[in-house]
Amino acid sequence: MIKVGIVGSGAMGSGIAQVAATAGHEVVVLDANPQALQKAATALAATMAKLVEKGKITAEKAASVTGNISFVSDIQAYAGCGLVIEAIVENLDVKKKVFADIEAVAGADCILASNTSSLSIASIASVCKAPGRVVGIHFFNPAPLMELVEIIPAVQSDDATVAAAKALIDSWGKKTVIAKDTPGFIVNRVARPFYGEALRIYEEGVADMATIDWAMTQLGGFRMGPFTLMDYIGHDVNYVVTETVFREFFYDPRYKPSFSQKRLLEAGWLGRKSGRGFYNYAEGATLPEPAKNEALGQEICNRVLVMLINEAADACFLNIASREDVDIAMTKGVNYPKGLLRWADEIGIATVVERLDALYHTYHEDRYRCSPLLRKMAAEEQTFFA
């Protein structure tokens, strides 16, 4: 069984380390910050103790997992690793330096992977002398609980590297999907309208945040409304991903960020983590009540949903991923109640096209352009799945 290296001891790096160690691998977690390493080790011990207390694992298994993980500050620990996964700050220059440093230490047969959620794998691989062994392996937070992992080949990635990475992550009990190396990959690309269109509806004054959240959860079946979810993720993360996808897609208006969210970030109102975001989480604060108007709620839900379906269809049209992988990604990666393409089949693709065209005719904005795939399928009375 190969030795696994993790770069970064934050929540994501530690979570991936726990997954690999649980699968029986020897794992080394590297961080230049000694305090961060100690914090990660303490958090891991607490997590294992909690799992034992809840009866999820035995004390022996907990001891095995913690025993499999070493927290180190010397990059030489990566010598002998068969896989190293980088999980640090979303900064391309920093990642490039890290990959160049790792390649100088790791053996020639070691797979080098990035857990980036939106940056170019090709760009990261470009600094390596052997870029064919670089691949994207994108986990979702929290890594021990979230089943989905996106595997992203760079244009330089060897087929054998991609196949080996996929097989290994599958063996860890994860559900892998293959995504083209484009901004946001599958999930962070397709999910943008869940936030962006909800923000647009709010900014137009169609409904307040509480009503939009109510519509998407109670009528749409989503686990969290968009504003609650943005506050949960944190605007320092969610807004930055939106801004990155917008920029990397050459400022396509479909991914345009919102001033409402940007102002929260600028104010330091990051969501739950800071006690204030779209909602006030201070002790004693009262959350606003939604206007439970079902006609309005259905209008909101339909508008957000067709934008999501449009994005999912375009991901297929542009060969970002297969139809099956797009639906798996959205149900396993962000817990959508249904796969968006199967949902389109249920609604009727002609109805989806009609609703998108109605939005376009109202706004005359490119943001509402209908995917050519949907238009073609509607004309030919096709469905995504038989």
Instruction: Show which residues are catalytic.
Output: 117, 138, 150, 188
For 183, phi then psi, to 5°, come to: -55, 125
The tokens describing 275, both together, are: 């006690």
Burial of 165 (0-12, 13-18, 19+ CB in 10 A): buried
Torsional sign, CA 342, 348, 351, 353: positive
| Amino acid identity for residue 283 in this structure | E
Taking the C-alpha atoms of residue 64 and residue 26, their distance in angstroms, rounded to an integer, is 10
How many alpha carbons lie under 13 Å from residue 83 in its C-beta half-sphere?
26
Any idea of the CA torsion for 345, 351, 356, 360, to the nearest 10 degrees?
Answer: 160
Taking the C-alpha atoms of residue 298 and residue 288, their distance in angstroms, rounded to an integer, is 20
